[in-house]
Amino acid sequence: MDWIEGGICAPLGFEAAAAHCGVKTHNTSKRDVMVIRSEVMASAAALFTTNLVQAAPIAVTREHLADGHAQAIVANSGLANACAPCGRAHATTTCEVAADLMGLKPADIIVASTGVIGQELNIGAITAGLPGIVGALERSAEASDAAAHAIMTTDTHPKEVACSIELGGTAVRMGAIAKGSGMIHPNMGTMFCFVTTDAAISPELARAALIEANRVSFGRITVDGDTSTNDTFALMANGMAGNAEISDKGDDYEAFVAALCELCQKVARQMAADGEGAHHLMTCTVSGATDEAAAETLAKSVVGSTLTKAAIYGCDANWGRVLCALGYSGARFDPERVSVSFASAAGTIDVCRDGCGLVFDEALARTILEEPEVRIEVCVGDGEGEATCWGCDITHEYISINGDYRS
Amino acid sequence: MDWIEGGICAPLGFEAAAAHCGVKTHNTSKRDVMVIRSEVMASAAALFTTNLVQAAPIAVTREHLADGHAQAIVANSGLANACAPCGRAHATTTCEVAADLMGLKPADIIVASTGVIGQELNIGAITAGLPGIVGALERSAEASDAAAHAIMTTDTHPKEVACSIELGGTAVRMGAIAKGSGMIHPNMGTMFCFVTTDAAISPELARAALIEANRVSFGRITVDGDTSTNDTFALMANGMAGNAEISDKGDDYEAFVAALCELCQKVARQMAADGEGAHHLMTCTVSGATDEAAAETLAKSVVGSTLTKAAIYGCDANWGRVLCALGYSGARFDPERVSVSFASAAGTIDVCRDGCGLVFDEALARTILEEPEVRIEVCVGDGEGEATCWGCDITHEYISINGDYRS
């Protein structure tokens, strides 16, 4: 697998464009609507938030993907179109206007919104802006970058990645853009991640691949424990690479899934690292658990612990909080067999063995924890379960950002 | 029921004392060890953290209470005596030394520690300080206050309360001291709450009453979602009021439980209001749920939502985050039937009806949210389930306190 440039426009046959349409009224320089279009009809699948309160675009997209196909994605940032009286009508109108402009059917459009919950979407801004965006669609790295910017809310930088692999001797490409930042505690869905690929794959297997990739990437990150109402993780596979269509779970499927997992983990790490106000990417690997599910439960509890996050912010090797988080995770283990180390580019330091504290060099520990990526390595016994989860520290900036987000 | 003065020394036959012994090495003016002694043997019960990682004093106290009796409590702050190699030996030594000084058996001592996890308890400081503390035991409001101070960690003020009720024509008293502040997400236990009463009640019913009171008080607060390794909620009932011993679940038991619940709810509110760095006490009442358990799940999700807590800190009526937290709570409800209001001493404002936002006066909303106690009132339908949970906002001070707690 090779990492390549071009984001969502790296795969053949995908174009993108974005503009400021006025959904974000406060900042007229920020792009807030984007479109991704495939030249031909694509196999498509999406996963959504498990929150019981779901934004209107999710219901509309769910219906549109019932046939396993789509040809374009329209998304806005600024307003979530959740808990708003005309939500469904506005999501439908967005699809109708976009479809008309592109010569598609509304049912072939994936629609998504992110931003403030509970305010009416200013649909007029979107419908007025769409002709210009559709007219500007092009296949370029700049277009992918513009689309990545247009879905940002409090993200500090765009998230964009692409790779190429070989399937049966044919080169295929996949690209993704994503947004994360706050209200991140995905559960079977995530914030936004839109994946394009020119691989040929059946809708059923596209969906299976999406579920597997989600499980080991967006399913394993947390910023603040809040699961959003709008999480959408969607994939379009247009087959323009010319590979033999993946229609069973053979070698090509395995290779496709492996690449998709790696692509999504890279995006997930970017999301965690750019969590609202974050100074550190926190990576927790738990090994020696009874099984992978237990390891994931334990690792996610550590990266989700407010107190552990605050300790990492303070570059404080307060491993007692790690043990505490393991203990209340709900997974079983023997507290007297736990070992904990902190690691980063600056080195590794063991701080706990067999459930008891070790004497360690506090200055070295601080140096290790001052790096932007900090790894918390936990071994809970001699089982074979291992999993890695990602999160970020909680900082003064997080409080500032969220103490007055609407204003 | 009447609120009275005197804290844990309000009930007949209870003495207390506290001193700085040196467990807290950084601050020599803070008391860090306290003793509560009953003149006679008492029925006793305790609930503990459900964290799998439990401090050594919990294991020791659990054994000591197997017979349903105790006569004294010894507790320290500063170090948690959790995940420390000699933890059990130190907890046992504490009981032995204290018992010897008071002419009791070690098995009649309840022992508890709170503070930093993973460091060895400096037992020498405790054993050297205990003679002075035991020598100073007295029944006074000042002694109760001293004990309340001695269990504080990052609490900004002591938590102390007492009341009197009549049981079968006889006046009985109960008092409590408690500490909370951080790592507060109790689950069948809490941080420290020590309750004394001169009521006569069997050990079995004392335990039953404790479980019921815990369910509706400490079981319904959260500060940061982190369940501590040391939570201990203990009660001693010495019978010195002279009431007919409560030995069945009749009227006297009901009156006793009702008073204990109210006492503990008052303490729980104090804990939530004094959560680390808190500016606001957040009270969320959910009504109209399918049952009380669903209402509690919903309300606890709201007061536990990091983003809702950040919004309350910012006095921002961002009710979308309330709906979001309801939606991921795990309890079932119809999102299209939810209504939300914010209320405080400054008034009430409706912000959401039938799952959609209302136009409301933002200036009035801000005035309401600027009060120290903010109520979030949620109705999710027309069921009969109702519950109230308490929490606090997350603030810059929380981050500062926990970014460098050990130093």
Contacting B residues, span 258-297, partner chain A, CB-CB under 8 Å: none
* Structure confidence at residue A190 (pLDDT): 46
Mean pLDDT, rounded, for B145-155 = 91
Beta bridge partners of A171: A166
Look at B399 and A396 and tell me if their CB atoms are within 8 Å.
Answer: yes
* Structure confidence at residue B84 (pLDDT): 86
Model pLDDT for residues A200-254, shown as the tens digit of each residue = 999 999 999 999 998 888 888 877 777 777 788 889 999 999 999 999 999 999 9
Instruction: Spell out the residues 6+ positions from residue B229 whose beta carbon is closer than 8 angstroms to its own.
Output: A320, A323, A324, A327, B49, B51, B53, B54, B55, B80, B82, B83, B117
- CA A22 to CA A122: how far, in whole Å? 8
- CA A263 to CA A70: how far, in whole Å? 21
- B293's enclosing H/E stretch is helix B292-304
Catalytic residue among B93, B190, B227, B285: B190
CA angle at A396 for the pair A394 and A398, rounded to the nearest 5°: 60
Instruction: Label the pairing between strands A281-289 and A373-379.
Output: parallel
Cα B99 to chain center, whole Å?
26
* Structure confidence at residue B259 (pLDDT): 95
- CA A71 to CA A44: how far, in whole Å? 8
DSSP letter at B22 equals: S
Predicted confidence band at B150 (pLDDT cuts at 50, 70, 90)?
very high
Asked whether the beta carbons of B55 and B113 are under 8 A apart, the reply is yes
Predicted confidence band at B342 (pLDDT cuts at 50, 70, 90)?
very high
Predicted confidence band at B239 (pLDDT cuts at 50, 70, 90)?
very high
Catalytic residues of A: 190
Mean pLDDT computed over every residue of chain B: 91
- CA B137 to CA A171: how far, in whole Å? 82
Mean pLDDT, rounded, for A358-363 = 93
Highest mean pLDDT among A18-32, A93-107, A179-193, B110-124: A93-107
> Largest Cα–Cα distance of chain A, in whole Å?
68
In a 3-state reduction of DSSP, which class is residue A41? strand
Give the CA distances from residue B49 to residues B57, B190, B272, in Å, rounded to whole numbers and listed in that order. Answer: 12, 6, 17
Look at B227 and A400 and tell me if their CB atoms are within 8 Å.
Answer: no
* Structure confidence at residue B143 (pLDDT): 97
Beta bridge partners of B112: B75
CA angle at B190 for the pair B375 and B226, rounded to the nearest 5°: 75
- In 3D, which of A161, A376, A165 has the Cα closest to residue A268? A161
Residue type, B87: G
- Main-chain phi, psi angles of B370, to 5 degrees: -80, -10
Highest mean pLDDT among A50-64, A280-294, B73-87: A280-294
**pTM, rounded to two decimals:** 0.81
* Structure confidence at residue B406 (pLDDT): 56
Highest mean pLDDT among A271-280, A354-363, B220-229: A354-363
- CA A233 to CA A289: how far, in whole Å? 29
pLDDT at residue B173 is higher than 80: yes
* Structure confidence at residue A372 (pLDDT): 94
* Structure confidence at residue B189 (pLDDT): 42
Mean pLDDT, rounded, for A127-151 = 97
Mean pLDDT, rounded, for A4-33 = 93
Mean pLDDT, rounded, for B92-100 = 97
pLDDT at residue B187 is higher than 60: no
Highest mean pLDDT among A52-66, A142-156, A309-323, B127-141: B127-141
Predicted confidence band at B407 (pLDDT cuts at 50, 70, 90)?
very low
Asked whether the beta carbons of A51 and A189 are under 8 A apart, the reply is no
Which of residues B152 and A225 earns the better pLDDT score?
A: B152
pLDDT at residue A405 is higher than 60: no
Which of residues A180 and A22 earns the better pLDDT score?
A: A22
- CA B391 to CA B269: how far, in whole Å? 8
Look at B402 and A310 and tell me if their CB atoms are within 8 Å.
Answer: yes
* Structure confidence at residue A222 (pLDDT): 78
CB-based contact (8 Å) between B84 and chain A? yes
Which residues of chain B are within 8 Å of residue A227 when distances are taken between CB atoms?
Answer: 324, 327-328
Model pLDDT for residues B14-72, shown as the tens digit of each residue = 999 999 999 988 777 899 999 999 999 999 999 988 788 888 999 999 999 999 999 99
* Structure confidence at residue A188 (pLDDT): 39
Residue type, A133: I
Asked whether the beta carbons of A139 and A219 are under 8 A apart, the reply is no
Nearest CA in chain A to B400: A396
Which residues of chain B are within 8 Å of residue A83 when distances are taken between CB atoms?
Answer: 320, 323, 335, 352, 355-357
Lowest mean pLDDT among A224-233, A383-392, B37-46, B86-95: A224-233
Which residues of chain B are within 8 Å of residue A335 when distances are taken between CB atoms?
Answer: 52-54, 83
* Structure confidence at residue B13 (pLDDT): 95
Cα A42 to chain center, whole Å?
21
- B111's enclosing H/E stretch is strand B109-116
